[in-house]
């Protein structure tokens, strides 16, 4: 599943559920192979919640029923923070799985490792169910380099504004954001006016996660230039309008109108605040369906795109994760068969149907988002995906850089620096880390 804050979903119960899988791969892991009878075993790895892992095992069983000559084994890793370092070590020691997930904040590092199988030729072959043009082009990000594809997005999660009708009503807000958006009247001015009313009513206006899609979506939605130029140089600190807009954005966190979900205390976290009607807006992906459904609060919530100065839609961030193939797999054909079917329209439909937690990254599977007519404006997920973007390759290709940039933005959101200082510092960090 594609989302920025996967680790917060991997609670202790999930870790316990994964104990067997961790024990199975703690001896060094490694890919599968070909047996004497010509059958192949494909080992693949990912992180995920208990629900996700159950769905993956169901996909494995369905796949093996269709391909009795291929055995598929899932090696789950409980902690997102440990997953990538473990995987890089396995790739270095030639003990990595055949197929594996990679987070969008790590994909550039893995491409640079030269350990991933180039996929463009395979994707264009007769064995492929996933042609490059079948995917939405803005979702490849740093997984594509110099015209070669090294991984493809498993699915996606546009960062929409979930909103609580009950909280809006409590603040005296009578206009519906989604209705305004349908009429191209969902303006930044209207959005900030609603947030001010929520704040005055003692509620949180909007909650965000501190990662690339928050700060860069704000710039894009406000019609400002991308933070990187065509050569990959960071230029946001040299644009006066960008500095001014981010200063305003930061001040809204500082005065409590906005809140960072990352720093909210235990027992009063963002999910809890949202389902108890203490916040008007929460910027998240489709997985929020599970949060509001579990709380029995579905009817109170809907979604809307990011506000813009003129009220029309603008490109904003779409979180993804990627599926890659080990460049040294011993079962190339079987691994690609699994890879392409997992990512195909049929595969994504299988994985995401029934109130799934993400949005397809490939054409032909959109019906899973519209099933059940929930939320009421579910089409917004698809519209935002169609024009959205993954993290900028100039940033995503540098190990650790997205996280370092978010640390600098945290200082702005907490009032420890101003926007100009924040952006100047980021410009310096980008230059230094890119050089390294």
Q: Over 60: is that where the pLDDT of 95 sits?
A: yes
333 in a structural domain: yes
Q: Are residues 323 and 183 part of one domain?
A: no
Mean pLDDT of 88-100: 96
Q: Over 50: is that where the pLDDT of 372 sits?
A: yes
**Contact 190/175 with Cβ under 8 angstroms?**
yes
Q: Are residues 303 and 176 part of one domain?
A: yes
Residue 375 preceded by cis peptide, ω within 30? yes
177 in a structural domain: yes
Output the six-digit token pair for 374: 């929930």
By CB atoms closer than 10 A (0-12, 13-18, 19+), residue 413 is buried
Q: What is the pLDDT of residue 82?
A: 87
Q: What is the pLDDT of residue 374?
A: 94
Report the alpha-carbon distance of residue 194 to residue 233 in Å, rounded: 36
Q: Are residues 142 and 91 part of one domain?
A: yes
Would you place residue 62 in the very low, low, confident or very high pLDDT band (cuts 50, 70, 90)? very high
Query: 422 CB contacts (<8 Å, ≥6 apart)?
Result: 246, 250, 408, 409, 411, 412
Q: What is the pLDDT of residue 435?
A: 78
Report the alpha-carbon distance of residue 56 to residue 78 in Å, rounded: 15
Q: Over 80: is that where the pLDDT of 43 sits?
A: yes
Q: Are residues 191 and 104 part of one domain?
A: no
Q: What is the pLDDT of residue 3?
A: 43
Q: Domain span at residue 153? A: 6-157+319-387
Q: Over 70: is that where the pLDDT of 15 sits?
A: no
256 in a structural domain: yes
Q: Which of 197, 203, 204 is nearest to 173 (CA)?
A: 197
Q: What is the pLDDT of residue 227?
A: 98
Mean pLDDT of 104-125: 95
141 in a structural domain: yes
Q: pLDDT tens-digit profile of 163-183?
A: 999 999 999 999 999 999 999
- Give the Cβ contact number of residue 265 at 10 Å: 7
Number of domains in the chain: 2
Element (H, E) at 14: helix 12-17
What is this structure's pTM? 0.90
- pLDDT averaged over every residue in the chain: 91
Sheet harboring 318-325: ordered strands across?
70-76, 40-46, 99-103, 318-325, 152-158
Q: Percentage of residues in the chain with pLDDT exceeding 90?
A: 84
Mean pLDDT of 273-301: 95
Q: Are residues 262 and 247 part of one domain?
A: yes
**Contact 205/252 with Cβ under 8 angstroms?**
yes
**Among the listed ranges 26-40, 139-153, 279-293, which one has the minimum average pLDDT value?**
26-40
338 in a structural domain: yes
Helix (H, G, I), strand (E, B) or coil at 75: strand
Q: What is the pLDDT of residue 96?
A: 97
- Which residues are 318's β-sheet partners? 158
Q: What is the pLDDT of residue 256?
A: 97
Would you place residue 345 in the very low, low, confident or very high pLDDT band (cuts 50, 70, 90)? very high
Q: Over 50: is that where the pLDDT of 20 sits?
A: no
Q: Are residues 408 and 311 part of one domain?
A: yes
Q: pLDDT tens-digit profile of 294-337?
A: 999 999 999 999 999 999 999 999 999 999 999 999 999 999 99
Q: What is the pLDDT of residue 79?
A: 81
Q: Are residues 355 and 298 part of one domain?
A: no
Q: Are residues 166 and 26 part of one domain?
A: no
Compute the half-sphere exposure of residue 268: CA atoms within 13 Å on the CB side of its CA: 8
Match 């440990």 to its residue by tokens.
82
Q: Are residues 181 and 109 part of one domain?
A: no
280 in a structural domain: yes
CATH number for 130: 3.40.190.10
Q: Over 50: is that where the pLDDT of 24 sits?
A: no
Q: pLDDT tens-digit profile of 189-223?
A: 999 999 999 999 999 999 999 999 999 999 999 99
> Please, what is the end-to-end C-alpha distance for the chain in angstroms?
31
Q: What is the pLDDT of residue 48?
A: 84
Q: Are residues 128 and 11 part of one domain?
A: yes
The stretches of 67-127 forming alpha helices (DSSP H) are 80-92, 107-112, 120-123
Q: pLDDT tens-digit profile of 236-274?
A: 999 999 999 999 999 999 999 999 999 999 889 999 999
Q: Over 60: is that where the pLDDT of 18 sits?
A: no
Would you place residue 32 in the very low, low, confident or very high pLDDT band (cuts 50, 70, 90)? confident
Q: Are residues 254 and 273 part of one domain?
A: yes
Match 């790590």 to its residue by tokens.
106
239 in a structural domain: yes
Match 């001014």 to its residue by tokens.
244
Q: pLDDT tens-digit profile of 374-414?
A: 999 999 999 999 999 999 999 999 988 999 999 999 999 99
Q: Over 70: is that where the pLDDT of 27 sits?
A: no
Report the alpha-carbon distance of residue 291 to residue 40 in Å, rounded: 39
Would you place residue 434 in the very low, low, confident or very high pLDDT band (cuts 50, 70, 90)? confident
Match 């809907």 to its residue by tokens.
302
392 in a structural domain: no
Domain final position from 367, 387, 407: 387
Q: Are residues 360 and 294 part of one domain?
A: no
């Amino acid at each position: 599943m594609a989302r920025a804050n996967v680790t917060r979903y991997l609670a202790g119960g999930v870790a316990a559920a994964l104990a067997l899988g961790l024990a199975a791969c703690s001896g060094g892991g490694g890919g599968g192979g070909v047996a004497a009878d010509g059958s192949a075993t494909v080992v693949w790895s990912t992180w995920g919640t208990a629900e996700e892992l159950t769905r993956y095992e169901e996909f494995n069983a369905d796949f093996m029923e269709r391909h009795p000559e291929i055995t598929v084994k899932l090696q789950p890793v409980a902690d997102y923070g440990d997953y990538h370092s473990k995987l890089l070590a396995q790739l270095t020691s030639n003990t990595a799985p055949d197929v594996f997930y990679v987070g969008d904040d790590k994909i550039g590092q893995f491409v640079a490792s030269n350990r991933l199988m180039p996929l463009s030729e395979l994707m264009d072959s007769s064995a492929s169910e996933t042609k490059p043009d079948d995917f939405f082009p803005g979702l490849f990000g740093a997984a594509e380099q110099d015209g070669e594809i090294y991984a493809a997005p498993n699915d996606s999660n546009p960062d929409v504004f979930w909103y609580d009708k009950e909280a809006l009503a409590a603040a005296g807000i009578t206009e519906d954001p989604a209705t305004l958006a349908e009429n191209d009247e969902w303006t930044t001015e209207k959005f900030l006016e609603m947030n001010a009313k929520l704040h005055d009513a003692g509620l949180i206006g909007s909650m965000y996660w501190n990662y690339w899609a928050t700060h860069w979506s704000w710039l894009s939605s406000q019609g400002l230039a991308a933070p990187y130029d065509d050569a990959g140089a960071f230029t946001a600190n040299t644009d006066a309008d960008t500095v001014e807009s981010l200063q305003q954005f930061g001040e809204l966190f500082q005065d409590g109108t906005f809140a960072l979900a990352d720093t909210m205390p235990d027992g009063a976290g963002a999910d809890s605040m949202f389902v108890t009607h203490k916040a008007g807006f929460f910027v998240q992906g489709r997985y929020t369906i599970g949060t509001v459904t579990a709380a029995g609060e579905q009817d109170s919530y809907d979604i809307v795109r990011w506000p813009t100065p003129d009220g029309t839609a603008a490109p904003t961030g779409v979180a993804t994760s990627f599926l890659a193939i080990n460049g040294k797999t011993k079962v190339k054909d079987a691994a690609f068969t699994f890879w392409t079917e997992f990512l195909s329209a049929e595969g994504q439909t299988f994985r995401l149907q029934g109130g799934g937690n993400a949005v397809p990254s490939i054409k032909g599977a959109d019906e899973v988002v519209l099933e059940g007519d929930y939320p009421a404006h579910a089409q917004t997920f698809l519209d935002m995906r169609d024009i959205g973007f993954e993290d900028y390759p100039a940033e995503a290709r540098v190990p650790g850089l997205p996280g370092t940039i978010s640390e600098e933005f945290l200082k702005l959101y907490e009032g420890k620096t101003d926007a100009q200082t924040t952006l100047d510092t980021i410009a310096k960090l980008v230059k230094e880390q890119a050089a390294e």
